Amino acid sequence: MEMIKKGAEAEIYITEWKGRKIVIKRRIKKGYRIKELDEKIREQRTKKEALLMMSARKAGMSVPIIYDLHINNKEIFMQYIDGERIKDVIDGMEEEMQRKICEEIGKSIASLHKNGIIHGDITTSNMIWMNDRLYFIDFGLGMKSRENEDRGVDLHLLMEAFKAAHKNKNLFKWVFEAYKKNFEESKEVIKKVDEIARRGRYMRGVA
């Protein structure tokens, strides 16, 4: 098994399984937690991530297919998305393509929110472009919610992530425009985003 990433929470492996190239996401032990509690937390997060990915797929989004869960090992077996991370490729693209992808991002988030799903970590590192389709991964910090506050936090994070990772301000503007266009409740959510941004500036003492 080849490890492709070791994060704070999980290790990502690429391997073959039943003739398919798959990814195994394994949540790793945290020595600072009591053993029983640590087991429980990792088990819950593993299940939650898989469930959220399955609901996102039901809602018509492109996410990796979940093949199996090995709960004892805190592992999710999922489809390997053999594409490019949006973070690595979008800056170098033609404007027309950038716009197309950003519209896709906005539309996808609208779909998630409409279906009661909060992603929890919407950054361009958690999006993969494969065969002209946008895939979302990494639902480990997500949750089920239809609250505009939670939706606002989701979008605010995306805004901050775009600001930090991509110079071109249009990218994020296109994402928001598409979100607004595709979600009837977007006005309320955007209000929340503004509120959260103001709160943040106030806390940092710059308002």
List contacts with ligand ADP (CB under 6 A). 4-5, 7, 9-10, 12, 23, 25, 64, 78-81, 85, 125-126, 128, 137-138, 140
- Sequence length of the chain is 207
Using rule CB under 5 A, residue 126 touches Mg ion: yes
54 binds, among Mg ion, ligand ADP, none (CB under 5 to 8 A by kind): none
- Looking from the CA of 20 toward its CB, the CA atoms found within 13 Å total 15
The alpha carbon of residue 201 and the mean position of all alpha carbons in its chain are separated, in whole angstroms, by: 25
Give min distance, CB of 81 to ligand ADP, in A: 4
Of 65 and 197, the one with the shorter C-beta distance to ligand ADP is: 65
Among 49, 138, 150, 154, binds Mg ion (CB under 5 A): 138
Instruction: Choose between 110 and 137: whose C-beta lies nearer to Mg ion.
Output: 137
DSSP code, position 19: T
- Look up 82 and say whether it is catalytic: no
Q: Which residue is nearest to ligand ADP (CB)?
A: 7
Residues pairing with 5 in the sheet:
12
DSSP 29-83: P-TTS-HHHHHHHHHHHHHHHHHHHHHHHHTT---PPEEEEEGGGTEEEEE---S
> C-beta of 122: minimal distance to ligand ADP in Å?
11
The smaller minimum CB distance to ligand ADP, of residues 65 and 159, is found at 65
Number of residues that bind Mg ion (CB under 5 A): 2
- Dihedral of CA 197/180/152/65: which sign? negative
Among candidate residues 38, 82, 88, 121, the one labeled active-site is 121
Residue 44 or 170: the one with the smaller Cβ distance to ligand ADP is 44
154 lines the binding site for Mg ion (CB under 5 A): no
Q: What are phi and psi of 16, to 5 degrees?
A: -105, 140
Q: For tokens 């910090």, what's the residue?
A: 141
Q: Whole-angstrom distance between the N-terminal and C-terminal Cα of the chain?
A: 50
Instruction: In angstroms, give the least distance from the CB of 182 to ligand ADP.
Output: 24
- Interface contacts to Mg ion, rule CB under 5 A: 126, 138
**Catalytic sites, residue numbers:** 121
